[in-house]
Amino acid sequence: MEFIMFLLRWAHYLAGVTWIGILYYFNFVQTPFFAEADAPVRSGAIQKLVPRALWWFRWAAMGTFLTGLLMYLDQLGQQGVTEFYTRSYGWAVSVGGLMGTIMFLNVWLVIWPKQKVVIASATQVAQGGQAIPEAAACGRRAALTSRTNVVFSIPMLFYMGAARHYTLFGEAGAGSIVAMTIIGGAIIAAIELNALAGSQGPTKKPLDTVGGALWSGFILTAVLFILFMIIF
């Protein structure tokens, strides 16, 4: 059983590195390149490069999520619900896992469906047809959601690492659990809703630049860390 769990963790690492690596490629490399590239170059890349990258992207996300869920359930079963949710490990892996799950859902329910419209529109135009009217809006929603995944990835990786390698607190009481669930959950939900609602505005500006997304991720990590220090 120990060897099986090791293989599961290894698969989780492999899938996670692939997923987050492609996420960073999309946001740190491809998006700035598309902004500078000529229209024919951009169109060719959307038709031939982006679909391949998105295939690895979404299935790596699926592999990361499923292996992570199995490991989470294994630890929950071994420790028991009460012990798991009153210990630092349980909370760190739960917070990281929550953001990872939101990121996974963003990939499959938002980014991939919206990008399919963008790819179809670019293909139609290249073949002499008309652009799909909603393609621009779909591209914008996919971009905002992808940048939000960058924001979430920073605290997600921090808390996944903290689960085994850093003790956030000793033991959680009922009041602390409720308070952290409400406050931390509200913050994470607000960031996700910002990606899903509207396309412009002051709360969208940090997502329009790589630096803004990175700083937002580090700030979110710090805010959640401070909440742990205050509440528990």
Give the model's confidence band at 116: pLDDT under 50 very low, under 70 low, under 90 confident, else very high.
very high
pLDDT of residue 98: 98
Instruction: List the domain range (segments joined by +) for residue 99.
Output: 2-231
The residue to which tokens 């509200």 are assigned: 186
**Side chain identity at residue 12, one-letter code:** H
Dist. CA 89–CA 179, nearest whole Å: 18
| Residue 94, pLDDT above cutoff 90 | yes
Average pLDDT over the chain reads 97
| Residue 1, pLDDT above cutoff 90 | no
Dist. CA 200–CA 211, nearest whole Å: 18
pTM attached to this predicted model: 0.96
pLDDT of residue 134: 97
Q: What percent of the chain has pLDDT over 90?
A: 99
| Residue 193, pLDDT above cutoff 90 | yes
What is the mean pLDDT of the segment spanning 113-131?
Answer: 97
What is the mean pLDDT of the segment spanning 76-91?
Answer: 96
Give the model's confidence band at 111: pLDDT under 50 very low, under 70 low, under 90 confident, else very high.
very high
Give how far Cα 167 sits from Cα of 77, 108, 212, Å.
Answer: 21, 33, 29
Dist. CA 13–CA 207, nearest whole Å: 27
pLDDT of residue 81: 95
The model's pLDDT over 137-175, given as tens digits with 9 standing for 90+, comes to 999 999 999 999 999 999 999 999 999 999 999 999 999
- Structural domain tally of the chain? 1
Give the model's confidence band at 55: pLDDT under 50 very low, under 70 low, under 90 confident, else very high.
very high
